[in-house]
A and B are shown apart, each in its own frame.
Chain A
Amino acid sequence: MKKIFFIIMAFALAVSSCQKDWDTPNTENAYGNPKLEITNLKTIAEVKDSFKNYVTTSYSYKQVTKPMQIVGVVTGNDIGGNMYSEIAIQDSTAAIIIAIQHGGLWGSLPIGAKILVELNGLYLGNYGLQPEIGTPYTNSSGNTYVSRMNPMLWQEHYKILSYGEAPEPEVFADGKEKTTWDLYKDAGKLGVLKNVTFKEGGRTTWATPNAGSGNKSLYFNEQTQTVMVYTSNYAQFCADTIPSGKVNITGIFKRYSTSSKDSWEILLRSIEDCEEVK
């Protein structure tokens, strides 16, 4: 009798296995489309120029209807919760924003990733005259412009070529120096504003915490009202107080143009983009 119990128990225990530990799988090609090939490579500047009307006229856009590729390095993403549903990519000639409807893009498109993008089927246009790649979106006022594309569509249109290639930010201005950048040529680039002080330094936060969706614009003593830092209420550093002293501000310099004003919006990627100058 004892023997049979022992045998059965041993058998049962041997057969019942615990959930095993899972090994790290192969993550190559986890994201993106490995089948993409270069057949008609253009620089970002060339693409912008060939679609110039569409990227410089409000509510204008055009679909790319033949194979056309660009290669760029990711310079801005949502790792800090600030750049929502878009990335900035840049090559040696220019930069452009790619709008993708998805959170956590930084996990597949880290800063410094060099990507190949197939533009065929996607749309070139702009948001507030900031050149963008995306698909058409119609807002509640009936205006249509290029905006966030279906993320499943996006997966078919890019391929990671390498990592760790982030460029140094270009110096946009230093202190009270006049800005040297061109709103058309340089929009979307990674840049730095050196030796500046916030108008409300030490007295306010980057954005408005606990307020739901929204954003805040912050201005500099050394620059005009056409240069601002734009921060989303969902940024991780939203509730931090902005420094009172001199800072170097790095970020993606987007163009934002309305009928009355043509300005620069600087988007920090994370709080590390604000460097206090000693």
Chain B
Amino acid sequence: MQLKIKFALIAMCCVQLSFAQINDKPKTVEDEDDQESSFTFTETQLSENDDMSQNVSIIGSSTNIYASNVGYRFSPMRFKYRGMDPRYNDIYINGNPMNDLERGSFSYSLVGGLNNQTRAVESTLPFEDNTYTMGGMAGSNNYNFRPSSFGTGQRVSLAGANRNYTLRGMYTYNSGLMSNGWAYTASLTYRWAGRGYVKGTFYNALSYFFGAEKRINDAHSISFVTWGNPTERSTQGASTDEGYWLANSYTYNPYWGYQDGKVRNSRVVREYVPTALFTWDWKINDQTKLTTSLSGRYGMYRTTKLNYNNSENPQPDYYKKMPSNFYNVWEENSPNRTKQNLEDWKYTRDYWRASEENRQIKWDQLYASNEQANKAGVDAMYIVQARHNNTFNLSLASNLQHQIDKNHKLTGGISLQKNTGYHYYTIDDLLGAQYYHNVNTYASGNYGIGSTQLMYDIRDGGKLVKEGDKFMADYNIYTNKANAWATFAGNRGMLHYYVSGRIGGTTIQRDGKMQNGLAPENSLGKSGTAKFLDGGGKAGLIATLGHGHTLTLGAGYQTMAPLANTAFAAPEMNNDFVTNLDLEKILSTELSYQYEGAWVHINLSGYYSKTKNGTEWTPLYYDDANSFSYMSLTGIDREYYGAELGVKFKVTSAFEINVLGTVGESKYTKDADVRYLMSTKGTYDTDLAHIKGMRESGTPLTATSIGLSYHAKGWYLDLYGNYYDRIYLSYSPTYRFESAAAANGLITNTGEFDYDKASQAKGNGGFMLDASIGRSMYVKKGSLSVNLMLTNILNKRDFCTGGYEQSRADYTNSGNARTYVFSMNPKKYYAYGLNGMLIVSYRF
């Protein structure tokens, strides 16, 4: 015992690779891969751009070749299942709902580092019935976090990688269910990178998981688990193709710079969401089981950003610092192609290429400017501010399963959730400055100096703020949800059918903690409460036709309450709800075919979904008004349809070939109404956004793969060739405003909006080769395995994984055409080149 402990400690503490852990079932190494890649890649390419949200859906299945492989296989490209936003993908733990109540989607970082705990999952495709919910149109998953369900024994693993983290150590202890009825679990994971794959990024995360379970008797079992993933990491910013070209690197990152010779990143995320989950399983009788769970979590999320006042944006790839700001590289007949323009273009290009410092933030300059601000007795020119999104959540869920008879089953449940989101800004670093006031500097000049309109909080009179003080905005969002669902499933001959229904209620309210000068009557205190009643139903039919053929048909219709993070017109300023706030209506259908033969397994699906009356909300800089503004788009209609194919050929007992593919569409089918508030005036304006034809961004809508797998004699060799295409970038609503159409040259000869010319920016796809090599073996005590995973073996660098169109206009506020053409310069992210991870694990 002592020796094992020492060995484990040594293994943890040093980077030397030891032998690894064997896996019981042939699939387990791949399972580990699943978890590795899913978690690794999503964290790798998580953007902290304000406009970008986490966009990975978690999907799985034991019998569907496509669904069971697609999450892992396409994760380097941040694939979204069916091009659907992850808020349609419901994640549960022990039957307790875990999606974020304000954003609607699940925060992957909630279970970051818990690779060993998230192996047991009941994955449900959109039209499969389950025991814990009536799920959304992108499927659902229920993780089992009961200590008795985790594999008994100890596991140690060490990994080295060149991804967003460099080193990972993991230790897990599971007692399993012991004879005294107790089961314990304890786990620690540590991930670190002084410098991640992208320069300027670092990673520092500790995950812990502790739990205990007691089988009281044959009927009752209670468990308590608590976990957390305190993380500190810095991020990569998207840049334009011009920026990547000048930097001669696809991992150019404009968010960092040198300070006193050390790398300092302006966008640092600190996140910690300690969670506790209490579960009571009650086996009422042999046919009936009740699972009740109560979860509580307090999430702390903080992200920093460089901000500026009475100055120019210091971001190193700000458009005014680009060569194409001086010489119009797009239009041959542009007047901005004089001799001097060309001189300036060359000078700027040479400046960018002259040194790395020229391409990054110049922190010493920011401090120097603030020194001058101190001498002049005025507010800092540059600060680092932090945006905080903290959450307190309590969720109670109770699910009942009752086997009525051999062929009929009834499941149902209720859940109640109470969520408070705390949103505010603090001063993180004054960068040597002495003064900064809680004043709306964007609106400076629109109102007299010292006027209340310029104060973020009239009650403090635009006071001086220090590091750590709240400023700019401070408000809470209260979201409560109640949900009841039931499913009746039955078998009749060769048919399995089910019918599900659910009904729910949501309330949303804002509570302002600052009296904003531009909304003095309407910012401090509680808003009204928006109440929504939603619900719907789903039905599915599975026909087992014999000889391995199965046909599935599913259809569902439900309404969904709008999300709290799109429900308010300008939550940083006032208590106003978005006008025309209403339920989103969702219709989804699917037809699937499965063939399971002796040596071939085929899954083929076609799906069609339609949503109506959706809402989106974006803050952005709106040039025409020379103001930062908050935009709400309502009346959004979308369609999702496509085909999915998964085929597995079992050539020999050891060798398999599989083929996956999807060609899909996920698009906006209607223009949307816009209502926006200008932060410098506090007044609303409306417009029409011609977004018909826009598509879901940041995911390949066409993705195909061929995989070769050889698993035998303890060896696991996999080679995957993947092809990705039709990757769209997030659209800019302002570029497609009706009021801006003439100025943007987006009107056809017949006077209509030119949708073709306003087509959405796309990213480059292509062919990517991935592989995995593993070996597992038994040793004297326990088992070891070594696994090497490689992604993008051909080192193809120009894969665009996503990005966004810039929201600024191609003309100035006074109507003059700019030299820099924003509409030709979307910001992009590129996939990593050859990267990999080597994991060595030992189980005993």
A209 adjacent to B311 (CB under 8 Å): no
Minimum CB–CB distance for A238 against chain B, Å: 4
CB nearest neighbor in A for B191: A16
Stretch from A37-45, A88-96, A100-108, A256-264 at the B interface: A100-108
Is the CB of B557 closer than 8 A to any CB of chain A? no
Q: Per-position contact with B for A5-19: 1 when CB-CB < 8 Å, else 0?
A: 101110111011111
B190 adjacent to A12 (CB under 8 Å): yes
Residues of B within 8 A of A111 (CB): 376
Stretch from A52-60, A132-140, A180-188, A190-198 at the B interface: A132-140
List A213-235 residues whose CB lies under 8 Å from chain B: 213-214, 233-235
Residues of A within 8 A of B188 (CB): 5, 8-9, 12
Q: Per-position contact with A for B362-393: 1 when CB-CB < 8 Å, else 0?
A: 11110111111101101001000000000000
Report Cα–Cα, A12/B12, bound state, in Å: 10
Residues of A within 8 A of B407 (CB): none
A237 adjacent to B449 (CB under 8 Å): yes
Report Cα–Cα, A22/B382, bound state, in Å: 15
B381 adjacent to A25 (CB under 8 Å): no
List 30 contacting pairs A-B, 8 Å CB cutoff, sorted by A. A3-B5, A7-B9, A11-B13, A13-B206, A15-B190, A16-B204, A19-B270, A27-B364, A30-B362, A30-B365, A31-B365, A79-B376, A81-B444, A101-B320, A104-B312, A104-B381, A106-B376, A107-B372, A108-B368, A150-B326, A150-B344, A152-B321, A152-B351, A209-B445, A209-B446, A209-B447, A213-B812, A239-B445, A239-B448, A240-B448
Residues of B within 8 A of A12 (CB): 188, 190, 206
Residues of B within 8 A of A236 (CB): 310, 444-445, 449
CB nearest neighbor in A for B680: A210
Is the CB of A50 closer than 8 A to any CB of chain B? no
Q: Per-position contact with A for B196-215: 1 when CB-CB < 8 Å, else 0?
A: 00000000111010000000
B338 adjacent to A81 (CB under 8 Å): no
Dominant secondary structure at the B interface: mixed
B445 adjacent to A11 (CB under 8 Å): no
Task: Indicate which residue in B260, B373, B451, B816 contacts A23 across the interface (CB closer than 8 Å).
Answer: B260
Q: Per-position contact with A for B328-358: 1 when CB-CB < 8 Å, else 0?
A: 0000000100111001100110010000000
Report Cα–Cα, A153/B340, bound state, in Å: 12
A239 adjacent to B365 (CB under 8 Å): no
Task: Indicate which residue in A22, A142, A233, A241 contacts B448 across the interface (CB closer than 8 Å).
Answer: A241
A residues with CB within 8 A of B: 1, 3-5, 7-9, 11-13, 15-19, 22-27, 30-31, 78-79, 81, 101-104, 106-108, 110-111, 135-138, 140, 142, 144, 150-153, 163, 207, 209-210, 212-214, 233-241, 271
Minimum CB–CB distance for B424 against chain A, Å: 19
CB nearest neighbor in A for B813: A212
Report Cα–Cα, A136/B326, bound state, in Å: 12
A110 adjacent to B375 (CB under 8 Å): yes
Report Cα–Cα, A140/B338, bound state, in Å: 12
Report Cα–Cα, A107/B444, bound state, in Å: 18
Report Cα–Cα, A107/B348, bound state, in Å: 22
B364 adjacent to A26 (CB under 8 Å): yes
Minimum CB–CB distance for A93 against chain B, Å: 27
CB nearest neighbor in B for A147: B340
Report Cα–Cα, A233/B264, bound state, in Å: 37
Minimum CB–CB distance for A139 against chain B, Å: 9
A4 adjacent to B8 (CB under 8 Å): yes
CB nearest neighbor in A for B354: A152
A271 adjacent to B13 (CB under 8 Å): no
Residues of B within 8 A of A27 (CB): 364-365, 367-368, 371
Minimum CB–CB distance for A204 against chain B, Å: 13
State the 9 A-B residue pairs at the shortest beta-carbon distance, nearest first.
Answer: A104-B311, A107-B369, A103-B312, A30-B368, A27-B368, A238-B445, A30-B364, A212-B813, A25-B260
Report Cα–Cα, A151/B347, bound state, in Å: 10
Residues of B within 8 A of A31 (CB): 365, 368
Task: Indicate which residue in B173, B310, B335, B446 contacts A238 across the interface (CB closer than 8 Å).
Answer: B446
CB nearest neighbor in B for A234: B445
A sample of 7 more A-B contacts (CB under 8 A), given A5-B186, A31-B368, A213-B814, is A8-B188, A9-B188, A16-B206, A22-B259, A24-B367, A108-B372, A153-B347
CB nearest neighbor in A for B364: A30
Residues of B within 8 A of A241 (CB): 448
Minimum CB–CB distance for A58 against chain B, Å: 18
- Given the interface contacts A9-B188, A11-B13, does A107 sit within 8 Å of B340 by beta carbon? no
Report Cα–Cα, A101/B371, bound state, in Å: 22
- Given the interface contacts A108-B365, A239-B448, A240-B449, does A25 sit within 8 Å of B259 by beta carbon? yes
B residues with CB within 8 A of A: 5, 8-9, 12-13, 171, 173, 186, 188, 190, 192, 204-206, 208, 230, 232, 259-260, 264, 268, 270, 308, 310-312, 320-321, 326, 335, 338-340, 343-344, 347-348, 351, 362-365, 367-373, 375-376, 378, 381, 429, 432, 444-449, 451, 625-626, 680-681, 812-814, 816
Residues of A within 8 A of B365 (CB): 27, 30-31, 108
CB nearest neighbor in A for B264: A22
CB nearest neighbor in B for A11: B13
Dominant secondary structure at the A interface: loop
CB nearest neighbor in B for A29: B364
Task: Indicate which residue in A15, A151, A271 contacts B449 across the interface (CB closer than 8 Å).
Answer: A271
Report Cα–Cα, A271/B12, bound state, in Å: 64
B445 adjacent to A108 (CB under 8 Å): no
CB nearest neighbor in A for B314: A104
Report Cα–Cα, A237/B450, bound state, in Å: 10
Minimum CB–CB distance for B361 against chain A, Å: 12
CB nearest neighbor in A for B205: A16
Report Cα–Cα, A78/B312, bound state, in Å: 11
Report Cα–Cα, A152/B350, bound state, in Å: 10
Residues of A within 8 A of B812 (CB): 213
- Given the interface contacts A4-B8, A107-B369, A213-B812, does A79 sit within 8 Å of B445 by beta carbon? no
CB nearest neighbor in A for B259: A25
Residues of B within 8 A of A214 (CB): 814
Report Cα–Cα, A81/B309, bound state, in Å: 11
- Given the interface contacts A136-B340, A233-B445, A236-B444, does A212 sit within 8 Å of B626 by beta carbon? yes
Minimum CB–CB distance for B632 against chain A, Å: 22
Task: Indicate which residue in B190, B370, B378, B445 contacts A235 across the interface (CB closer than 8 Å).
Answer: B445
A15 adjacent to B445 (CB under 8 Å): no
Minimum CB–CB distance for B394 against chain A, Å: 28
Task: Indicate which residue in A8, A19, A152 contacts B9 across the interface (CB closer than 8 Å).
Answer: A8
Minimum CB–CB distance for B683 against chain A, Å: 9
Minimum CB–CB distance for A3 against chain B, Å: 8
Minimum CB–CB distance for A22 against chain B, Å: 6
Residues of A within 8 A of B260 (CB): 23, 25-26
Minimum CB–CB distance for A110 against chain B, Å: 4
Report Cα–Cα, A100/B435, bound state, in Å: 27
CB nearest neighbor in B for A212: B813
